[in-house]
Amino acid sequence: MTRVVRSQTLSISEKEFISAAKALGEGDLYILFREILPNVWPSVIPLFMMTISGNIVAESGLSFLGLGDPNVASWGKTSTMASRAFYAGSWWGILFPGLVLTLTIVSLNLMSDYIINVLTKAEK
């Protein structure tokens, strides 16, 4: 994420509107907050949400394998118990933990899209 922010900031700082703001005598903080950050956010927010989604999936996978904290409730622990119920004959037990995990990750991605749309409409 740091590399993306740095590369976006460097590419935006070379644009003409930054040179125009400097020519008008705008300060560095003004240029940072009014010119650079609004152009960097649309590429940072999806990366941030994908990082959160990846961490949720990684934690649930490790907990499913039994490598998580046994004293903390997690989706991986719930999925482990559901898989035991699945082998005992109740197929619906594994449906709900997987569905909730999937809906959480999809909702994070939809929130990311919504935030980007709101930010880009606010700039126009």
Q: How would you write the pLDDT of the chain (124 residues) with one tens digit per residue?
A: 889 889 999 999 999 999 999 999 999 999 999 889 888 888 888 899 999 999 999 998 898 888 888 888 888 888 888 888 778 887 777 888 889 999 999 999 999 989 888 877 766 5
pTM of the model: 0.75
Lookup: tokens for 27: 């300060």
With CA atoms as reference, report the closest residue to 77 among 85, 89, 86, 65. Answer: 65
Contacts for 17 with CB less than 8 Å, ≥ 6 apart: 35
Instruction: Classify each residue of 13-52 as buried b or exposed e, where b means 16 or more C-beta atoms within 10 Å of its C-beta.
Output: eeeeebeebeeeeeeeeebeeebbeebbbbeebeeebeeb
